[in-house]
A and B are shown apart, each in its own frame.
Chain A
Amino acid sequence: MKILVPVKRVVDYNVKVRVKPDQTGVDLANVKMSMNPFCEIAVEEAIRLKEKGAAEEIVVVSIGPAQAQETIRTALAMGADRGIHITTDDAVESLGVAKLLAKVVEEESPELVILGKQAIDGDVNATGQMLAALLGWPQATFASEVEKTDDGYNVTREIDGGLQTIKVSSPAIITTDLRLNEPRYASLPNIMKAKRKPIDAKTPADFGVDIAPRLEALKVAEPAKREAGVKVESVAELVDKLKNEAGVI
């Protein structure tokens, strides 16, 4: 079985981004970029399935600028087998990403695609579900446990009320939640080895799909600032303030 894992290059989760003064976007100059943490979890899950003998090949794909190649290399160093880099400098929306991925699935015929549940830059949480719909496949989103069965997967999902377990037939889409696994660090020998693993270079035009954006960002603004508060000296003072000043208890 072949597993496809789409990985996205995003602002590192430790960075607190700043809005540009002209409100056209956020300032990404000289900001640390990394693989989206949910994509790392997706790569790790694919590797574990392979280690258990449930998969033979892991292909990672990233849509993004030239530097997205580093993100692919990171996945290869973790243990993926080869990469596909669809190069573009444009911000591709989830719908466009899903359309490109649907074409990649057509060419590669994986039986499983594992994506992150959301990218921590756009926080859209849509690509996996859109890809599932375009392919007519079942989906198991927000996975915290994946078990391979004879004809598909039993997946435990993190939902608002607790946990839900569903069964999906193969081929399927899975999107990862935080507690699915703890991604490994790539070892130095594996980082060296990854340099020799193949990455196929493509462009969106190769796939003939329309990825023009549908949404227009009119303005990117700072969120409302909170007024600085006070430090209280004691628990008694805290209760007094909550009761008599804020009136919330």
Chain B
Amino acid sequence: MTVLVIAEHDNASLNDATRAVITAAKGIGGDIHVLVGGEDCGPVIEIVKGLDGVTKVLHAESPALKNRLAEAMETLVLSIADGYDAILAAASTTGKNFMPRIAAKLDVMQISDITAVESADTFVRPIYAGNAMMTVKSNDAKKVITVRPTTFEKAGDGGSASVETIDAPAPAAASEFVSEELSKSDRPDLGSAKIVISGGRGMGNGENFAIIEKVADRLGAAVGASRAAVDAGFVPNDYQVGQTGKVVAPELYIAVGISGAIQHLAGMKDSKVIVAINKDEEAPIFSVADYGLVADLFTAVPEFEAELEKAGV
């Protein structure tokens, strides 16, 4: 049995989600190979070959792989798919984009967003916004799987894999990268932060997020948001936590001015400790909160920041 993990990276560094995928691959069993496709992605190879549990790294270089568009990833992965029993990638927007193409061409049904590996062919995945957990067995000869990174430990370092260079075939169809507008922030990444503080419609406007950001900076936290806050233009789209945004599972999640719709809960209810600050004591968010504070956020959040300072945090 050999498992192929497809690395997620930006040509310079490895996205931590890949470490979680490697842990999922270990659950399936067998040798683990990692495919790194990119342009000038040498620094990523250096990281990947030292990952614990990885025996071989496959390195493909091509200008077409620079942004890992789906059409180029499809033919690259298919060129080596024969040698593998399972192919895994993170259920990130990159993985979700190209993995189904590979599944379709291999004539297998993808198993999306798994949260547990029961055996080499049986997995657990959330359905209906996480209101039900389905245990599914795949009867396909090859498994194509995307992995929810927050539910698996991140594999550490300590391996010494061999590196093999492979060719990148021409992409399956014509698509072209034009530009990217990435949110810049010195705060930790939302998907892997230990503490997340999110604001909802109750924030009123984008400027008001400043009070949340002050708390985030004191706690070393990432800032997130509900769909309503993103739709209203308070914050960019990549802040959205939920069923159709990002799934987070930090040690501490603080929901401010968020009512707690099922779609939002789907993205944060696996957090270890949940705090809710909301002026409506009936808000559904309180049903999942370990600590609820019924208060006006415009007084409570600045006071929270001041109390944290007093407590030496």
Interface on A for B, CB 8 Å cutoff? Answer: 11, 13, 16-19, 26, 38, 93-95, 98, 117-118, 120-134, 136-142, 144, 152, 154, 157-169, 177-179, 213-223, 226-232, 234-236, 238-243, 246, 248-249
Q: Determine the distance from Cα of A134 to Cα of B177 in the docked complex, in whole angstroms.
A: 22
Which applies to chain B's interface (DSSP): helix, strand, loop or mixed?
A: mixed
Q: Determine the distance from Cα of A16 to Cα of B126 in the docked complex, in whole angstroms.
A: 14
Whether B175 contacts A229 by the Cβ 8 Å rule is no
**Which of the residues B69, B128, B274 comes within 8 Å of A11, measured between beta carbons?**
B128
Residues of A within 8 Å of B138, CB to CB, are 214-216
**Which of the residues A136, A161, A240, A243 comes within 8 Å of B173, measured between beta carbons?**
A136
Number of interface residues of B (CB under 8 A): 93
Whether B92 contacts A160 by the Cβ 8 Å rule is yes
Q: Determine the distance from Cα of A238 to Cα of B297 in the docked complex, in whole angstroms.
A: 14
Whether A229 contacts B246 by the Cβ 8 Å rule is no
Residues of B within 8 Å of A246, CB to CB, are 252, 273, 290-291
Of residues A152, A158, A167, A217, which shows the largest number of chain B Cβ atoms within 10 Å of its Cβ? A158
Residues of B within 8 Å of A158, CB to CB, are 93, 237-238
Which applies to chain A's interface (DSSP): helix, strand, loop or mixed?
A: mixed
Residues of A within 8 Å of B181, CB to CB, are 162-165
B12 interfacial by beta-carbon distance below 8 Å:
no
Whether A215 contacts B136 by the Cβ 8 Å rule is yes
* Complex interface bits, B123-156 against A, C-beta within 8 A gives 1, otherwise 0: 0001111111111111110000000000000000
Residues of A within 8 Å of B157, CB to CB, are none
Whether A26 contacts B128 by the Cβ 8 Å rule is yes
**Which of the residues A18, A122, A132, A249 comes within 8 Å of B252, measured between beta carbons?**
A249
Residue of A nearest to B172 (CB): A136
Whether B291 contacts A133 by the Cβ 8 Å rule is no
Residues of B within 8 Å of A168, CB to CB, are 173-176
Residue of B nearest to A163 (CB): B181
Q: How far is the CB of B221 from chain A (nearest CB, A)?
A: 10
B286 interfacial by beta-carbon distance below 8 Å:
yes
**Which of the residues A141, A162, A213, A216 comes within 8 Å of B96, measured between beta carbons?**
A141
With contacts A138-B174, A218-B136 taken as known, whether A130 is within 8 angstroms of B100 at the C-beta atoms is: yes
**Which of the residues B236, B290, B307 comes within 8 Å of A162, measured between beta carbons?**
B236
Whether B300 contacts A134 by the Cβ 8 Å rule is no
Q: How far is the CB of B44 from chain A (nearest CB, A)?
A: 16
With contacts A215-B139, A231-B294 taken as known, whether A139 is within 8 angstroms of B175 at the C-beta atoms is: yes
Q: List 10 other contacts, CB 8 Å, given A133-B104, A179-B231.
A: A17-B128, A141-B96, A158-B93, A163-B181, A163-B236, A166-B176, A167-B175, A168-B173, A215-B111, A216-B138
Give the 10 A-B CB pairs with smallest separation, nearest first: A129-B100, A130-B104, A126-B100, A133-B101, A214-B109, A229-B290, A138-B173, A138-B175, A133-B104, A162-B182
Residues of A within 8 Å of B101, CB to CB, are 129-130, 132-133, 139
Q: Determine the distance from Cα of A246 to Cα of B272 in the docked complex, in whole angstroms.
A: 9
Residue of A nearest to B101 (CB): A133
10 example contacts (A-B, Cβ-Cβ < 8 A) are as follows A38-B244, A122-B127, A129-B97, A160-B92, A162-B236, A215-B138, A216-B139, A218-B122, A220-B127, A229-B286
Residue of A nearest to B313 (CB): A249
Residues of B within 8 Å of A166, CB to CB, are 69, 175-178
Q: How far is the CB of B92 from chain A (nearest CB, A)?
A: 5
Whether A226 contacts B288 by the Cβ 8 Å rule is yes
Of residues B92, B129, B286, which shows the largest number of chain A Cβ atoms within 10 Å of its Cβ? B129
Residue of B nearest to A235 (CB): B303
B207 interfacial by beta-carbon distance below 8 Å:
no
Q: Determine the distance from Cα of A112 to Cα of B206 in the docked complex, in whole angstroms.
A: 36
Residues of B within 8 Å of A234, CB to CB, are 293
